[in-house]
Protein backbone atom coordinates (compact mmCIF):
# COMPACT_ATOMS: atom_id res chain seq x y z
CA UNK A 1 0.00 0.00 0.00
CA UNK A 2 2.99 2.35 0.13
CA UNK A 3 3.85 2.69 -3.56
CA UNK A 4 3.76 6.06 -5.24
CA UNK A 5 0.82 6.39 -7.67
CA UNK A 6 1.22 6.95 -11.37
CA UNK A 7 0.48 10.46 -12.57
CA UNK A 8 -1.86 8.93 -15.15
CA UNK A 9 -4.19 7.28 -12.61
CA UNK A 10 -7.73 7.44 -13.98
CA UNK A 11 -10.83 7.53 -11.80
CA UNK A 12 -13.68 5.17 -12.54
CA UNK A 13 -16.72 6.07 -10.48
CA UNK A 14 -20.23 5.05 -9.58
CA UNK A 15 -22.66 7.23 -7.64
CA UNK A 16 -25.86 6.17 -5.92
CA UNK A 17 -28.31 6.81 -3.13
CA UNK A 18 -28.04 4.22 -0.38
CA UNK A 19 -31.07 3.63 1.79
CA UNK A 20 -29.81 3.67 5.33
CA UNK A 21 -32.13 3.26 8.32
CA UNK A 22 -30.09 4.16 11.39
CA UNK A 23 -30.32 5.30 14.98
CA UNK A 24 -34.00 5.43 15.89
CA UNK A 25 -37.31 4.97 14.10
CA UNK A 26 -37.32 8.61 13.04
CA UNK A 27 -34.05 8.25 11.12
CA UNK A 28 -35.00 7.06 7.66
CA UNK A 29 -32.03 8.51 5.82
CA UNK A 30 -30.80 8.43 2.26
CA UNK A 31 -27.05 8.86 1.89
CA UNK A 32 -25.50 9.70 -1.47
CA UNK A 33 -22.14 8.04 -1.94
CA UNK A 34 -19.64 7.65 -4.72
CA UNK A 35 -17.15 4.82 -5.26
CA UNK A 36 -13.91 5.59 -7.09
CA UNK A 37 -11.48 3.07 -8.49
CA UNK A 38 -11.62 -0.66 -9.17
CA UNK A 39 -13.64 -2.89 -6.82
CA UNK A 40 -10.53 -4.99 -6.11
CA UNK A 41 -8.74 -2.23 -4.20
CA UNK A 42 -8.21 -1.87 -0.48
CA UNK A 43 -11.42 -0.19 0.81
CA UNK A 44 -11.15 3.32 2.21
CA UNK A 45 -14.04 5.47 3.46
CA UNK A 46 -13.64 9.27 3.39
CA UNK A 47 -15.82 11.36 5.73
CA UNK A 48 -16.06 15.11 5.08
CA UNK A 49 -16.33 17.95 7.58
CA UNK A 50 -19.13 20.24 8.70
CA UNK A 51 -21.23 21.72 5.90
CA UNK A 52 -18.97 20.18 3.27
CA UNK A 53 -20.00 17.85 0.45
CA UNK A 54 -18.28 14.78 -0.95
CA UNK A 55 -16.94 16.84 -3.86
CA UNK A 56 -14.67 18.64 -1.39
CA UNK A 57 -12.46 15.57 -1.33
CA UNK A 58 -10.35 16.62 -4.35
CA UNK A 59 -10.53 14.29 -7.34
CA UNK A 60 -6.73 14.41 -7.67
CA UNK A 61 -6.30 13.40 -4.02
CA UNK A 62 -8.74 10.51 -4.50
CA UNK A 63 -6.92 9.49 -7.69
CA UNK A 64 -3.66 9.44 -5.70
CA UNK A 65 -5.25 7.02 -3.22
CA UNK A 66 -6.60 4.86 -6.05
CA UNK A 67 -3.11 4.79 -7.56
CA UNK A 68 -1.80 3.44 -4.26
CA UNK A 69 -4.18 0.47 -4.42
CA UNK A 70 -7.28 1.81 -2.65
CA UNK A 71 -10.90 1.77 -3.70
CA UNK A 72 -12.28 5.08 -2.42
CA UNK A 73 -15.79 5.77 -1.13
CA UNK A 74 -16.80 9.33 -0.35
CA UNK A 75 -20.28 10.45 0.68
CA UNK A 76 -22.47 13.40 1.57
CA UNK A 77 -23.14 13.45 5.30
CA UNK A 78 -26.76 13.82 6.33
CA UNK A 79 -27.99 17.42 6.06
CA UNK A 80 -25.61 18.29 3.22
CA UNK A 81 -25.36 17.73 -0.52
CA UNK A 82 -27.69 15.15 -2.03
CA UNK A 83 -28.27 13.21 1.19
CA UNK A 84 -31.34 13.60 3.42
CA UNK A 85 -31.83 17.03 4.97
CA UNK A 86 -33.56 17.47 8.32
CA UNK A 87 -35.32 20.65 7.25
CA UNK A 88 -38.40 19.94 9.38
CA UNK A 89 -36.25 20.57 12.47
CA UNK A 90 -35.46 24.11 11.35
CA UNK A 91 -32.51 26.01 12.79
CA UNK A 92 -31.42 25.16 16.36
CA UNK A 93 -32.31 27.88 18.84
CA UNK A 94 -28.95 29.54 19.61
CA UNK A 95 -29.65 30.07 23.32
CA UNK A 96 -30.80 26.49 23.86
CA UNK A 97 -27.89 25.31 21.74
CA UNK A 98 -25.42 26.97 24.10
CA UNK A 99 -27.22 25.88 27.28
CA UNK A 100 -28.15 22.32 26.31
CA UNK A 101 -27.19 21.24 22.81
CA UNK A 102 -28.68 17.79 23.29
CA UNK A 103 -32.14 19.34 23.62
CA UNK A 104 -32.02 20.88 20.12
CA UNK A 105 -29.85 18.43 18.16
CA UNK A 106 -31.90 16.71 15.46
CA UNK A 107 -29.49 13.76 15.56
CA UNK A 108 -26.21 12.70 17.11
CA UNK A 109 -22.66 12.11 15.91
CA UNK A 110 -23.35 8.41 16.47
CA UNK A 111 -26.14 8.59 13.89
CA UNK A 112 -23.73 10.14 11.41
CA UNK A 113 -21.24 7.36 12.14
CA UNK A 114 -23.99 4.83 11.47
CA UNK A 115 -24.53 6.51 8.09
CA UNK A 116 -20.92 5.65 7.27
CA UNK A 117 -21.51 2.03 8.27
CA UNK A 118 -24.60 2.07 6.07
CA UNK A 119 -22.52 3.19 3.09
CA UNK A 120 -20.07 0.37 3.73
CA UNK A 121 -22.95 -2.11 3.93
CA UNK A 122 -24.37 -0.83 0.66
CA UNK A 123 -21.03 -1.23 -1.11
CA UNK A 124 -20.51 -4.64 0.44
CA UNK A 125 -17.49 -3.84 2.60
CA UNK A 126 -17.13 -5.79 5.83
CA UNK A 127 -14.48 -3.29 6.93
CA UNK A 128 -12.52 -0.35 5.59
CA UNK A 129 -9.78 2.14 6.37
CA UNK A 130 -11.66 5.18 7.69
CA UNK A 131 -10.46 8.76 7.15
CA UNK A 132 -12.26 11.82 8.48
CA UNK A 133 -11.47 15.52 8.27
CA UNK A 134 -12.58 18.10 10.88
CA UNK A 135 -16.10 17.09 12.02
CA UNK A 136 -15.59 14.03 9.83
CA UNK A 137 -12.72 13.03 12.12
CA UNK A 138 -15.10 13.09 15.09
CA UNK A 139 -17.57 10.99 13.10
CA UNK A 140 -14.77 8.58 12.14
CA UNK A 141 -13.76 8.28 15.79
CA UNK A 142 -17.35 7.55 16.82
CA UNK A 143 -17.56 4.92 14.08
CA UNK A 144 -14.36 3.25 15.25
CA UNK A 145 -15.47 3.29 18.88
CA UNK A 146 -18.89 1.83 18.07
CA UNK A 147 -17.71 -0.73 15.51
CA UNK A 148 -13.96 -1.37 15.75
CA UNK A 149 -14.53 -4.63 13.87
CA UNK A 150 -15.46 -2.57 10.79
CA UNK A 151 -12.33 -0.36 10.85
CA UNK A 152 -8.94 -1.46 9.48
CA UNK A 153 -7.19 1.79 10.30
CA UNK A 154 -8.29 5.23 11.51
CA UNK A 155 -7.05 8.58 10.24
CA UNK A 156 -8.17 11.94 11.64
CA UNK A 157 -7.23 15.13 9.79
CA UNK A 158 -7.59 18.57 11.40
CA UNK A 159 -9.85 17.11 14.07
CA UNK A 160 -10.34 16.64 17.80
CA UNK A 161 -11.81 14.02 20.13
CA UNK A 162 -14.09 16.65 21.68
CA UNK A 163 -15.19 20.04 20.46
CA UNK A 164 -14.03 21.72 23.68
CA UNK A 165 -10.40 20.78 22.94
CA UNK A 166 -8.63 22.99 20.42
CA UNK A 167 -11.58 25.35 20.15
CA UNK A 168 -11.32 28.14 17.63
CA UNK A 169 -10.50 31.62 18.95
CA UNK A 170 -13.33 34.14 19.20
CA UNK A 171 -11.96 36.11 16.25
CA UNK A 172 -12.35 33.06 13.98
CA UNK A 173 -15.88 32.46 15.24
CA UNK A 174 -16.87 36.06 14.45
CA UNK A 175 -15.29 36.03 10.99
CA UNK A 176 -16.97 32.72 10.12
CA UNK A 177 -20.34 33.95 11.39
CA UNK A 178 -20.09 37.07 9.21
CA UNK A 179 -19.19 34.98 6.16
CA UNK A 180 -22.09 32.59 6.75
CA UNK A 181 -24.53 35.51 6.93
CA UNK A 182 -23.70 36.55 3.37
CA UNK A 183 -26.59 36.01 0.93
CA UNK A 184 -26.40 32.78 -1.05
CA UNK A 185 -29.18 32.89 -3.65
CA UNK A 186 -27.03 32.42 -6.74
CA UNK A 187 -24.00 30.46 -7.93
CA UNK A 188 -21.87 33.60 -7.85
CA UNK A 189 -22.86 34.45 -4.29
CA UNK A 190 -22.10 30.88 -3.28
CA UNK A 191 -18.71 31.10 -4.92
CA UNK A 192 -17.93 34.37 -3.16
CA UNK A 193 -18.96 32.99 0.22
CA UNK A 194 -16.76 29.94 -0.38
CA UNK A 195 -13.82 32.26 -1.06
CA UNK A 196 -14.47 34.27 2.11
CA UNK A 197 -14.70 31.10 4.24
CA UNK A 198 -11.75 29.61 2.41
CA UNK A 199 -9.55 32.55 3.30
CA UNK A 200 -10.44 32.14 6.98
CA UNK A 201 -9.49 28.46 6.92
CA UNK A 202 -6.58 28.74 4.48
CA UNK A 203 -3.06 27.49 5.06
CA UNK A 204 -0.72 30.50 5.38
CA UNK A 205 2.24 28.39 4.30
CA UNK A 206 0.72 27.52 0.92
CA UNK A 207 -0.84 29.45 -1.98
CA UNK A 208 -4.57 30.11 -1.71
CA UNK A 209 -6.24 28.80 -4.85
CA UNK A 210 -9.11 31.27 -5.15
CA UNK A 211 -10.34 30.07 -8.54
CA UNK A 212 -10.55 26.46 -7.36
CA UNK A 213 -12.34 27.43 -4.13
CA UNK A 214 -14.79 29.70 -5.97
CA UNK A 215 -15.69 26.99 -8.48
CA UNK A 216 -16.13 24.45 -5.69
CA UNK A 217 -18.56 26.84 -4.02
CA UNK A 218 -20.53 27.12 -7.25
CA UNK A 219 -20.64 23.36 -7.70
CA UNK A 220 -21.74 22.91 -4.11
CA UNK A 221 -24.59 25.36 -4.70
CA UNK A 222 -25.67 23.36 -7.74
CA UNK A 223 -25.97 20.25 -5.57
CA UNK A 224 -27.45 21.76 -2.40
CA UNK A 225 -29.10 25.10 -1.57
CA UNK A 226 -30.04 24.36 2.04
CA UNK A 227 -28.03 26.86 4.08
CA UNK A 228 -29.28 25.57 7.46
CA UNK A 229 -27.97 22.01 7.41
CA UNK A 230 -24.58 23.12 8.69
CA UNK A 231 -26.20 24.52 11.84
CA UNK A 232 -27.91 21.20 12.55
CA UNK A 233 -24.60 19.41 12.04
CA UNK A 234 -23.00 21.89 14.45
CA UNK A 235 -25.65 21.03 17.04
CA UNK A 236 -24.70 17.35 16.73
CA UNK A 237 -21.05 18.24 17.35
CA UNK A 238 -21.90 20.39 20.39
CA UNK A 239 -24.06 17.56 21.78
CA UNK A 240 -21.28 15.00 21.34
CA UNK A 241 -19.50 13.41 24.28
CA UNK A 242 -15.79 13.47 24.96
CA UNK A 243 -14.37 10.49 23.03
CA UNK A 244 -10.97 10.34 24.70
CA UNK A 245 -12.02 7.58 27.11
CA UNK A 246 -13.54 5.30 24.45
CA UNK A 247 -10.65 6.02 22.07
CA UNK A 248 -8.17 4.87 24.73
CA UNK A 249 -9.63 1.37 24.43
CA UNK A 250 -9.04 1.14 20.68
CA UNK A 251 -6.36 -1.15 19.34
CA UNK A 252 -6.29 0.07 15.75
CA UNK A 253 -3.54 1.56 13.60
CA UNK A 254 -4.26 5.28 13.99
CA UNK A 255 -2.89 8.37 12.27
CA UNK A 256 -3.56 11.98 13.23
CA UNK A 257 -2.65 14.77 10.80
CA UNK A 258 -2.88 18.44 11.76
CA UNK A 259 -1.64 21.83 10.66
CA UNK A 260 0.25 24.05 13.07
CA UNK A 261 -1.62 27.08 11.66
CA UNK A 262 -5.15 25.68 12.04
CA UNK A 263 -7.45 28.39 13.47
CA UNK A 264 -10.67 26.34 13.32
CA UNK A 265 -9.52 23.34 15.37
CA UNK A 266 -6.23 24.34 16.91
CA UNK A 267 -3.31 21.90 17.15
CA UNK A 268 -4.25 20.95 20.72
CA UNK A 269 -7.21 19.06 19.24
CA UNK A 270 -5.01 16.87 17.08
CA UNK A 271 -2.55 16.29 19.92
CA UNK A 272 -5.39 15.21 22.23
CA UNK A 273 -6.69 12.81 19.57
CA UNK A 274 -3.26 11.21 19.15
CA UNK A 275 -2.69 11.04 22.91
CA UNK A 276 -6.01 9.26 23.38
CA UNK A 277 -5.36 6.29 21.07
CA UNK A 278 -2.61 3.90 22.13
CA UNK A 279 0.18 3.85 19.55
CA UNK A 280 -1.31 6.63 17.41
CA UNK A 281 1.11 8.58 15.25
CA UNK A 282 0.83 12.39 15.06
CA UNK A 283 2.09 14.30 12.04
CA UNK A 284 2.03 18.11 12.21
CA UNK A 285 2.44 20.07 8.97
CA UNK A 286 4.04 23.52 9.28
CA UNK A 287 1.98 26.22 7.58
CA UNK A 288 -1.14 24.09 7.15
CA UNK A 289 -4.46 25.58 8.23
CA UNK A 290 -7.93 24.03 8.26
CA UNK A 291 -7.93 22.99 4.61
CA UNK A 292 -6.20 20.50 2.34
CA UNK A 293 -3.60 22.50 0.37
CA UNK A 294 -2.65 20.94 -2.95
CA UNK A 295 1.09 20.50 -2.18
CA UNK A 296 0.13 18.24 0.77
CA UNK A 297 -2.22 15.91 -1.15
CA UNK A 298 0.55 13.49 -2.03
CA UNK A 299 2.25 13.53 1.42
CA UNK A 300 -1.13 13.02 3.14
CA UNK A 301 -2.04 10.16 0.79
CA UNK A 302 1.36 8.59 1.49
CA UNK A 303 0.81 8.82 5.25
CA UNK A 304 -2.63 7.21 4.91
CA UNK A 305 -1.16 4.40 2.82
CA UNK A 306 1.52 3.92 5.44
CA UNK A 307 -0.90 3.53 8.36
CA UNK A 308 -3.10 1.28 6.22
CA UNK A 309 -0.12 -1.03 5.83
CA UNK A 310 0.67 -1.19 9.56
Calpha distance 266→203 (Å, rounded):
13
pLDDT in tens, 177-230: 888 777 889 999 999 999 999 999 999 999 999 999 999 999 999 999 998 999
> For the chain, what percentages of helix, strand and coil (3-state, to nearest 5) are there?
45, 15, 40
Q: Give me the pLDDT at residue 181, please.
A: 78
Residue 84 within any structural domain of the chain: yes
Residue 201 within any structural domain of the chain: no
3-state secondary structure of 112: helix
DSSP strands (E only) in the chain? 13-21, 28-36, 42-47, 70-75, 128-133, 151-157, 254-259, 281-285
Q: Are strands 28-36 and 13-21 parallel, antiparallel or unpaired?
A: antiparallel
pLDDT in tens, 100-153: 999 999 999 999 999 999 999 999 999 999 999 999 999 999 999 999 999 999
Task: Tell me the average pLDDT of the chain.
Answer: 92
- pTM of the complete model: 0.93
What is the pLDDT averaged over residues 31-53? 96
Residue 223 within any structural domain of the chain: no
CATH code for position 301: 3.40.50.1820
Calpha distance 53→76 (Å, rounded):
5
Residue 257 within any structural domain of the chain: yes
Residue 147 within any structural domain of the chain: yes
Calpha distance 70→7 (Å, rounded):
15
Residue 60 within any structural domain of the chain: yes
pLDDT > 70: percent of the chain: 92
Number of domains in the chain: 1
**Do 258 and 270 touch, CB atoms closer than 8 A?**
yes
pLDDT in tens, 244-297: 999 999 999 999 999 999 999 999 999 999 999 999 999 999 999 999 999 999
Calpha distance 136→214 (Å, rounded):
22
Amino acid sequence: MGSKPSRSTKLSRSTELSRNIVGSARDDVEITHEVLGPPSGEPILLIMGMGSQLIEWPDEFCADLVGRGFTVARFDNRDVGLSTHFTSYGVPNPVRLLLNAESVAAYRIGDMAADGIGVMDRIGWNSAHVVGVSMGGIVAAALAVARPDRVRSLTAISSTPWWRIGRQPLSTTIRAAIAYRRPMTSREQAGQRAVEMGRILASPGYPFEEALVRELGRRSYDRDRDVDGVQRQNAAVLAARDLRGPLSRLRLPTLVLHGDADVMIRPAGGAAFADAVPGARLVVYPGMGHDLPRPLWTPIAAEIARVAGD
